[in-house]
Amino acid sequence: MRLTRNQRKANLPRGDMPGPLTLAQIVSRLGGRVVGEAATLIRQVGTLERAGSDQISFLANPRYRAKLEATQAAAVVLAPGAEAFTGRPRIVCDNPYAYFARVSQLLNPAPIPAPGVDPAATVASRARVPASARVEAGATLEDDVELGERVWIGAGCHLGRGTRIGEDSRLFPSVVIYHGCRIGARAVIHSGAVIGADGFGIAPEAGRWIKIPQIGGVVIGDDVEVGANTTIDRGAIEDTVIEDGVKLDNQIQIGHNVHIGAHTAIAACAGIAGSAAIGKHCAIGGGALIAGHMSIADHVTVSAATVVTHPLRAAGTYTGFFPMDNHASWARNAVLVRHLAELSDRIRELEKHIQGKKDNA
């Protein structure tokens, strides 16, 4: 198969594409200041490298100035300090990346669901589905499910008994929500996510494991995004809680009774063990592991691949992964990691020896 770039227009229908906007129209909605031709028409966003004559791009990092200079974009969003880096039509604003996000939202609005319950969906008689909601084929809604206005339930999703989903939330196909979980408004939950499965609660007895019933739930706030194949376990006794505005990437595991503070973002493949409490406005890197019962302060950044085994009581950035090397060097050094205590002892011996000399001198 020949792979071609930028087949976007042809192969990515996104419902009704809004008409093009002029730079003047954009700043009238989003603020900022136009420099250059305010009537420039913008149909879509693009990268500095490939944007064409009807696309707008952005510069958030001065490191990419050379790309800005070479761009063919119709217009660019940039910060005041970068205003002079190009002569192209531009929008000047304080936070170009966030501004660009908003421009893209204007040009690529989330599709509005055509309301209705597909005849191939299975909706229990005591589920409450407003007329504005959409339930696609193969979805199964158990009794006492309650959907908010304009909720969109994708094909093959399952909502267990008593689940509540807030207005304007969208579940992509094949999401599973176990019984009794509550999800706020404007959630975006991607395919394969599983919310409310049993936490890993087992007690050892005579060499076997006894299951501890997981009777808590999962409570998710407003404006939360959950990535594909991410799992959020229900609480053992009380609830697992995800506060407003939390953004979770793909394949994250969140154990029972975890509490994640508002507006924290977690990258893919991270694992948060049971009863960990992560603060607000944190950033957890991809593949990071947070041990059980850890407490993490607000505004903490945990680097990718870092294992958190102590509480983090102060804002800041924390890191801990083995630096990569070519294999031969790694092998030579890794052996010595296992002998650090011995190396340390030998240094102390040398110091003692020299100190002895000094004392004798």
Active site residues: 256
Element (H, E) at 158: strand 158-159
| Interacting residue with its own copies among 81, 84, 114, 205 (CB under 8 A) | 205
| Interacting residue with its own copies among 24, 39, 66, 336 (CB under 8 A) | 336
The answer for residues whose C-beta is within 8 angstroms of residue 103's C-beta and 6 or more apart is 26, 30, 42, 45, 56, 77
Rounded Cα gap, residues 259 and 277, in angstroms: 5
Q: Is 59 in the site for its own copies (CB under 8 A)?
A: no
Touching its own copies, residues 258-317 (CB under 8 A): 263, 265, 267-269, 271, 273, 281, 286-287, 289, 291, 303-310, 316-317
Rounded Cα gap, residues 207 and 271, in angstroms: 27
Q: Is 32 in the site for its own copies (CB under 8 A)?
A: no
The answer for residues whose C-beta is within 8 angstroms of residue 225's C-beta and 6 or more apart is 187, 188, 189, 190, 246, 247, 248
Give, rounded to a whole angstrom, the gap between the first and last alpha carbons of the chain: 81
Touching its own copies, residues 76-115 (CB under 8 A): 95, 97-98, 100-102, 104-105, 107-108, 110
Segment contacting its own copies by CB under 8 A, of 19-27, 32-40, 76-84, 195-203: 195-203
Segment contacting its own copies by CB under 8 A, of 18-26, 32-40, 45-53, 75-83: 45-53
Segment contacting its own copies by CB under 8 A, of 30-38, 68-76, 78-86, 327-335: 327-335
| Interacting residue with its own copies among 75, 165, 241, 282 (CB under 8 A) | 241
- In the DSSP assignment, the letter for residue 339 is T
Provide, rounded to whole angstroms, the least separation between the CB of residue 103 and its own copies.
10
Q: Is the dihedral of CA 314, 315, 316, 321 positive or negative?
A: positive
